[in-house]
Amino acid sequence: MKFIELTVHTSTEASELVADAMWNYTPHGVTVCDANDVIALQRESTVFWDYIDEAVSAPQKDVLVKCFLEPDSAEEKIAELMREIVSRRERSAGAVPFGSLEETKREIEGDDWIDVWKKHFRPIHAGTRIVVVPEWIPYEKQAGEETVLLDSNMAFGTGEHETTSMCLELLQDFLRPGDVCIDVGCGSGILGIAAAKLGAEKCYLTDIDPVAVESAAHNAALNRVQDRLTVALANLLDDSEIKGDLVLANIMAEVLALLAPSIPKNLKAGGTLILSGIIGERLEFVKQTYLQQGLRTVETRRKGEWYALALQREGE
């Protein structure tokens, strides 16, 4: 089967926002090619990597974000997608540079993009205990490490982006063995799987994207934690009686604010809520919407242009 490969030229800061928008229009895959990732690999000797194509390590001005669309609907979807990306740029109010947003298209054979994606993905260390590992690359974990295996059919969420890595780090700081964990907007299932590997008794994962739900369930089975994970196609948990010791949401700031009246309903007294995906200009806005729900901030973390919050509900 043939596909139309759409490439959008953007910046490092906006690459996750562009990729996130692309996932709304295709179940067939999104890739990000950023020279800054290669530079980080070359400088960080503790990070394991297997192979880097010369084309990736060559000088590169833009970050290239690609998605793959079926030919019969590609033109219509590309027009809608680019309108959404431009809208996201406008909503950022200049806080996030989006680059040129130049677009290019080409026809490719169906499985070419999978081979490219596999060639550039590598194990990623997040915090002191979690290593995210592509299932096709051998990796021998060290003492104290837990591996999260991800397959090539995954939805976005690899642990590579700052928003996800901060969630994984905060998860390690606040999760206690036997906790109940809830992940709102689970993507590939990486956070819920990591929680299960770290000792969570039960994890509830939700997402509005059926591809993400399927991917999370597949990856849970790959990691042999499916008996402790429940994955649902939904915005939030329908059952308000389920309470989490730890609730995670790695979503855009505007969506986090909209969900502020709802998410805390599933948080236990004394529990911790971890929010990520927040750009600097929206940090106080998001924080205040949750403080109004009776939560208090216990930690603010930053990586690059992105912020994550850990908030707690007072014990009753």
For 6-40, the pLDDT digits (tens) are: 999 999 888 888 988 888 888 777 877 765 443 34
pLDDT at 298 over 70: yes
Q: Any residues with CB less than 8 A from the CB of 243 and at least 6 apart, and which?
A: 180, 266, 267, 268, 271
In three-state secondary structure terms, 17 is: helix
Terminus-to-terminus CA distance in the chain, angstroms? Answer: 58
Asked whether the beta carbons of 120 and 49 are under 8 A apart, the reply is no
pLDDT at 162 over 50: yes
Asked whether the beta carbons of 175 and 160 are under 8 A apart, the reply is no
Q: Where are the alpha helices (DSSP H) in the chain?
A: 15-23, 35-43, 54-57, 74-91, 112-120, 162-174, 190-197, 210-222, 253-258, 283-291
The lowest-confidence range among 4-13, 49-58, 163-172 is: 49-58
What DSSP element (H or E) covers 14?
A: none
pLDDT of residue 253: 86
Asked whether the beta carbons of 189 and 200 are under 8 A apart, the reply is no
Q: How far, in Å, CA of 226 to CA of 153, rounded?
A: 17
Mind listing the pLDDT tens digit for each residue in 175-234?
Answer: 999 999 999 988 889 999 999 999 999 999 998 878 788 888 999 999 999 999 999 888
pLDDT at 239 over 70: no
pLDDT of residue 8: 94
Query: How much is the mean pLDDT over the chain?
Result: 83
Q: How far, in Å, CA of 142 to CA of 44, rounded?
A: 18
Alpha-carbon Rg for the chain, nearest whole angstrom, is 19
Greater model confidence, 153 or 48 = 153
Token digits for 300? Answer: 């603010």
The pLDDT of 150-162, averaged and rounded, is 63
Four-point Cα dihedral 6, 150, 244, 300, nearest 10 = -60
* DSSP character string of 80-103: HHHHHHHHHHHHTTTSS------E
pLDDT band per the 50, 70, 90 thresholds, residue 52: very low
pLDDT of residue 40: 40
Mind listing the pLDDT tens digit for each residue in 118-146?
Answer: 666 678 888 889 999 888 888 888 899 99
Asked whether the beta carbons of 107 and 71 are under 8 A apart, the reply is yes
pLDDT at 288 over 80: yes
Q: Which residue has the tokens 């096709």?
A: 136
Mind listing the pLDDT tens digit for each residue in 246-259?
Answer: 999 998 888 899 88
pLDDT of residue 9: 93
Asked whether the beta carbons of 185 and 277 are under 8 A apart, the reply is no
Greater model confidence, 38 or 113 = 113
Greater model confidence, 151 or 301 = 301
Burial 4-19 (b: 16+ CB within 10 A, else e): bbbbbbbbbbbbbbbb
Q: How far, in Å, CA of 133 to CA of 137, rounded?
A: 7
Q: How far, in Å, CA of 183 to CA of 206, rounded?
A: 6
CB-neighbour burial class of residue 241 (10 A; exposed 0-12, middle 13-18, buried 19+): exposed
The pLDDT of 270-287, averaged and rounded, is 92
The lowest-confidence range among 19-33, 62-76, 278-292 is: 19-33
pLDDT of residue 240: 67
Q: For residue 247, which of 305, 302, 293 has the smallest C-alpha distance? A: 293
pLDDT at 66 over 50: yes
Q: How far, in Å, CA of 67 to CA of 64, rounded?
A: 10
Q: How far, in Å, CA of 166 to CA of 306, rounded?
A: 9
pLDDT of residue 248: 96
Q: Which residue has the tokens 């592509």?
A: 134
pLDDT of residue 43: 39
Token digits for 8? Answer: 């959008």
